[in-house]
């Protein structure tokens, strides 16, 4: 996740840490020396994450971190067989999400400039996922724009049927019995689709909020349209409207 601007050192640290987690999870063999170096760095990031930031590691040497990253990439892609390097992967894909949460566009612009050398690492494909403004921010710096594939890939808005199918697959993966009870009707889902203009993340959040408002029950409850409206309005009343003054509420109603 890249949901805030960060220095190039921090970007490298979270990238190396994520790679190390994947290496451990998939039991990819790397040298014991590299494993020791990664374990030391990973332990340091865990400690600093508890402190809500990276104040102790901000001054780590950028050049050494970049070399560590590139050495790690090489060890993942190539393995040694009888003393010879043999390619076991074509490359590494790194996916960075939530850049649309960064509202300071100038800070994001600066960050992209700082990590340019990282992005030039061979055998690595970098994906950055953000909103429609991200390509403009990247394109504002010529030496950064040159290393990106342009024009960017754009994901179109999902249709109601797309979202319905996604949720059906999600429930199918999570089910504990052959015929699970869906927590909502198609009409209730259509209501959320219209409210959130097809934004899947917001639809899922509203579904979660609605289910969370339901009373404890020994049997599954399927949320109909009217129940969905009632549940979400109760939550809206409790978390937002109840905290407004009479004047604020009057202004809101006038705006609506």
CB within 8 Å of 109: residues ≥ 6 apart? 137, 140, 141
Average pLDDT over residues 204-210: 90
Residue 36 structure tokens: 């020791």
Say whether pLDDT at 53 is over 60: no
Helices 186-195 and 160-174, axial angle in degrees (round to 10)? 120
The tens digit of pLDDT for each residue in 1-43 reads: 888 888 888 899 889 988 998 999 999 999 999 999 988 887 7
Say whether pLDDT at 130 is over 80: yes
Say whether pLDDT at 51 is over 50: no
CA distances from 78 to 1, 35, 123 (A): 27, 15, 11
Q: Provide the pLDDT for residue 190.
A: 94
The tens digit of pLDDT for each residue in 134-143 reads: 888 888 888 8
Helices 225-239 and 186-195, axial angle in degrees (round to 10)? 40
Q: Provide the pLDDT for residue 141.
A: 81
Average pLDDT over residues 248-252: 91
Can you spell out the DSSP letters for 88-139? --S-EEEEE--GGG---HHHHHHHHHHTHHHHT-TTEEEEE---TTHHHHHH
- Cβ–Cβ contacts within 10 Å for residue 168, how many? 12
The tens digit of pLDDT for each residue in 148-203 reads: 988 888 888 889 999 999 999 988 888 887 888 888 899 999 999 999 988 888 89
Q: Provide the pLDDT for residue 4.
A: 87
pLDDT, greater one: 57 or 254 = 254
pLDDT-above-90 percentage for the chain: 41
Q: Provide the pLDDT for residue 56.
A: 52
């Amino acid at each position: 996740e890249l949901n805030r601007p960060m220095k190039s050192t921090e970007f490298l640290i979270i990238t190396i840490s994520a790679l190390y987690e994947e290496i451990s999870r998939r039991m990819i063999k790397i040298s014991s020396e590299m494993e020791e170096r990664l374990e030391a760095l990973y332990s340091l990031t865990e400690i600093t994450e508890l402190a809500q930031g990276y104040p102790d590691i901000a001054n780590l040497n950028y050049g050494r971190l970049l070399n560590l990253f590139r050495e790690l990439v090489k060890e993942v892609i190539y393995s040694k067989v009888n003393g010879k390097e043999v390619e076991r992967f074509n490359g590494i894909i790194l996916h960075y999400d939530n850049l649309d949460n960064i509202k300071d566009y100038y800070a994001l612009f600066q960050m992209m400039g700082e990590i340019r050398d990282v992005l030039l690492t061979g055998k690595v494909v970098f994906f950055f996922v953000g909103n429609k403004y991200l390509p403009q921010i990247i394109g504002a710096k010529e030496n950064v724009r040159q290393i990106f594939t342009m024009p960017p890939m754009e994901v179109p808005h999902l249709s109601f049927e797309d979202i319905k199918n996604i949720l059906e697959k999600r429930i199918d993966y999570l089910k504990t019995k052959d015929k699970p009870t869906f927590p909502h009707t198609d009409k209730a889902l259509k209501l959320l689709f219209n409210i959130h203009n097809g934004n899947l993340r917001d639809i899922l959040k509203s579904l979660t909020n609605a289910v969370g408002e339901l009373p404890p029950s020994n049997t599954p409850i399927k949320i109909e349209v009217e129940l969905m409206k009632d549940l979400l309005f109760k939550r809206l009343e409790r978390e937002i409207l109840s905290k407004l003054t009479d004047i604020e509420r009057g202004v809101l109603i006038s705006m609506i």
